[in-house]
Amino acid sequence: MANMVELIKIIKQAALDAVNASKPVHVCFGKVTSVSPLKILVEQKLPLGKGQLVICRHVTDYVTTVSIPAEYGWATQNRSGGSGDPAFASHNHDIVISKKKITVHNGLVVGDEVILLRQQGGQKYIVVDRIG
């Protein structure tokens, strides 16, 4: 019976060693040290460059499409007259915008602290989000 318990311990340890050797996904933290080219220092010891990083869209500047319904009071345009003719007096027009492209300025900046996922094998790191 003692031999069986020892065998089970050895098998469990071998399984743990195999998982650790394959370097499954691991959460780590880093700090942006450069933007162009992008460099992130992971846990104050491992510098990563562009070739090792996979960047999620929401930590970049990107263009997206939004809808702005006219019922939001700010979707109006003021036309002011200036000619003195009453037909051209100051008046408002509703602006009906169904879809509009905008740029979201959300790129990483030096000093940003980020959450990274190390892919299995440790060759690539996915920049998931900022901290805070």
Q: Which domains does the chain have, with CATH numbers?
A: 20-60+106-132 (2.40.50.140), 61-79+91-105 (no CATH)
**pTM for this entry:** 0.62
Taking a C-beta distance cutoff of 8 angstroms, is the pair 24, 15 a contact?
no
54 contacts: CB under 8 Å, gap ≥ 6: 119, 124, 125, 126, 127
How much is the pLDDT for 35?
93
Q: Which residues of the chain have pLDDT under 70?
A: 1-2, 20-23, 69-97, 122
